[in-house]
Amino acid sequence: MQNTAGANKESLMQQLTAEHRALKARIRELDKHVSLTSAERVEYSQLKKLKLRAKDRIRLLEQP
C-alpha cells in the first residue's frame, strides 16, 4: 500500500512541477510585452496566483 501512495505522491509532484513550469513560461511571455491588454492583466494575475498555489502544494508534498 505504501508503494502506491509513494507512486501517487511522485506522480502528483511531477504533475505540479510541470504545471508550475508552464505557468512560469506563460508569465515570462507576458512579461515581454510592452503593455498588457485588460484581458492579459487579468490572465497575468490569475497565472501568478496559480503558480504560487502550485509551488505551495509542491512544498507540502516535499515535507516528510
* pTM reported for the whole predicted model: 0.83
Query: In total, how many domains does the chain have?
Result: 1
pLDDT for residue 2 is more than 60: no
| Residue-wise pLDDT tens digits, 25-58 | 999 999 999 999 999 999 999 999 999 999 999 9
Q: What range does the domain containing 55 cover?
A: 2-62
Cell of 34: 510592452
Give the single-character DSSP code of 50.
Answer: H
What pLDDT does 34 receive? 94
Distance CA(49)–CA(46), nearest Å, equals 5
What pLDDT does 49 receive? 98
